[in-house]
Structure 1
Amino acid sequence: MDDTGATLMPVWRANLALLTRQVGAATRLARMMTFSESYMKLILSGQRAFSGEFVRGVEAVTGLPEGWMDVPHRTDEVPPAARESIDNERPHARFRGTAHPVRKPPVLRAEPIFGQTAPARRDDAAAGADSHRRMAGVRKMRDLAVQDVRKLERYLSVPPVEPSVMRARVEDVIAAAEPDESVCADLAGRLEQIEKHRELLLRHVTKLHALLARLGEE
């Protein structure tokens, strides 16, 4: 992280907390920024640092003026348009960057002597190290996303109410109430759609988990 980021980090974090103070705002902003809710909460709790690129992304996505996050604000100073954007989860732009801080480049560099050309091997090693750090960051974000997907997969696989039990109880109500044929058909059709869409959703979630698990391993 550069000196500017280190200096502004407390202000950035305070303004981010200001934007997400309302119930559910952190989750909505996370989705608007294409981050997981758990990763956003780590940022808000101070367990993860973030970059100036992320801060500019928050401004763009919520419609805040550029540089707004760099100055301390009060709750009543949040622009209504930005509050409405978060409340309704309507981003003004698409964020394609990263939240990970960029390390400050070294001040001193080795210079070639006696007119020799500096070997490119050192640059290649630095590029390899940067690539390794980037992929490590990708894997961390991927693991957080995989955890959320697996929770949903387990929930769909073992729902709090067994579908067969729910169907039996609904059928008991139909038998006792004796509704007309159109209502019976409507109830039966909705039971069928619930079971069918649950199975379809579970297949999509399982496929999503398989695709996510491969990201960051290349």
Structure 2
Amino acid sequence: MEYSDETLLPVWRANLLVLTQEVGAATRLARMMTFSESYLKLMLTGQRDFSEEFVRGVEAVTGLPAGWMDALHDIHDVPDNARAAIDNEAPQARFRGTAHPVRKKVVLRPPEPIFGQTAPKKYDDETKDAEAHRKQAYLRKVRDLAAQEVRRFERHLTHPPVDIGALRTKVEDVMGVVDLDENVHADLAGRLEQIEKHRHMLIRHVEKLHELLAGLGEND
């Protein structure tokens, strides 16, 4: 089933995931949009598509700038007023629309050729173009979702739950008060150094992975 706004759907879904990252945010946003929480979660997991009307409603209800949902964002890009509206479940507008996608207009086939005439090739060419467009749209969909996950992983690497500097300091404090064998001391110091070294190396690999993903399908 195809819809008129299928090319932007992966971007909209990725931004919905950003808006609902906080615990309970999906429930609050669903109530603000007058939808059930279960239906919104089906949208977030890709089990239900949704329309541009719904996306514009999200922008209006949360106070996001018009068109904000059309470009990929991360959690740091969410404006403070929109974050506060979701956190406090305080809709900035009332949504009375629908989330159902709008079907594409039906393209009628040309009339059948009269007996003895060669059938026109234009329809075949249009069919091939439509198929190529569908493949390109699907590539961009899966690429953008993968890139979103890579960015999320990168944020975890650059802002780990444990402060690496504090960890090093605490281990060095232990090393300073214990009479250690020279080999054990060197082993502890070396492992601290390797942890930091490999974290930076992993961050570089993740950045390169995102760069490669972002370029896929753009030159076709």
TM-score, normalization: structure 1? 0.50
Q: CA deviation at 1:216?
A: 2.5
Correspondence 1:64-143 to 2 at 5 A? 110-143=111-144
Q: Which position in structure 1 is the counterpart of 2:198?
A: 197
Q: CA deviation at 1:134?
A: 1.1
Deviations 1:142-173 (A, max 9, x none): 11111110011111111122222111111001
Q: Which moved more, 1:110-119 or 1:179-188?
A: 110-119
| Partners of 2:168 and 2:177 in 1: CA distance | 14
Tell me the amino acid that sits aligned with residue 195 of structure 1.
E
| Partners of 2:112 and 2:206 in 1: CA distance | 53
| Partners of 1:42 and 1:136 in 2: CA distance | 21
Deviations 1:16-66 (A, max 9, x none): xxxxxxxxxxxxxxxxxxxxxxxxx979x78069xxxxxxxxxxxxxxxxx
Q: CA deviation at 1:177?
A: 1.8
Identical amino acids, percent of aligned pairs: 59
Q: Which position in structure 1 is the counterpart of 2:18?
A: none
Q: Which position in structure 1 is the counterpart of 2:150?
A: 149
Q: Which position in structure 2 is the counterpart of 1:174?
A: 175
| Partners of 1:131 and 1:140 in 2: CA distance | 14
Asked if 1 retains the 8 angstrom alpha-carbon contact of 2:150 and 2:206, the reply is: yes
Correspondence 1:23-62 to 2 at 5 A? 47=47
RMSD: 2.8
| Partners of 1:171 and 1:119 in 2: CA distance | 79
Unaligned runs of 5+ in 2: 2-40, 50-106
Over 6 Å off, 4+ runs: none
| Partners of 2:48 and 2:213 in 1: CA distance | 22
| Partners of 1:200 and 1:212 in 2: CA distance | 19
| Partners of 1:181 and 1:113 in 2: CA distance | 94
Q: Which position in structure 2 is the counterpart of 1:57?
A: none
TM-score, normalization: structure 2? 0.50
| Partners of 1:149 and 1:160 in 2: CA distance | 17
Higher relative contact order (CA 8 A, sep 6+): 2
Deviations 1:77-123 (A, max 9, x none): xxxxxxxxxxxxxxxxxxxxxxxxxxxxx9x8853214111111111
- Taking a change above 3 Å as real, the CA distance of residues 142 and 177 of structure 1, as seen in their structure-2 partners, is same
Q: CA deviation at 1:126?
A: 0.7
| Partners of 1:203 and 1:177 in 2: CA distance | 36
Deviations 1:119-144 (A, max 9, x none): 11111111101111111111111111
Q: Which position in structure 2 is the counterpart of 1:158?
A: 159
Q: Which position in structure 2 is the counterpart of 1:10?
A: none
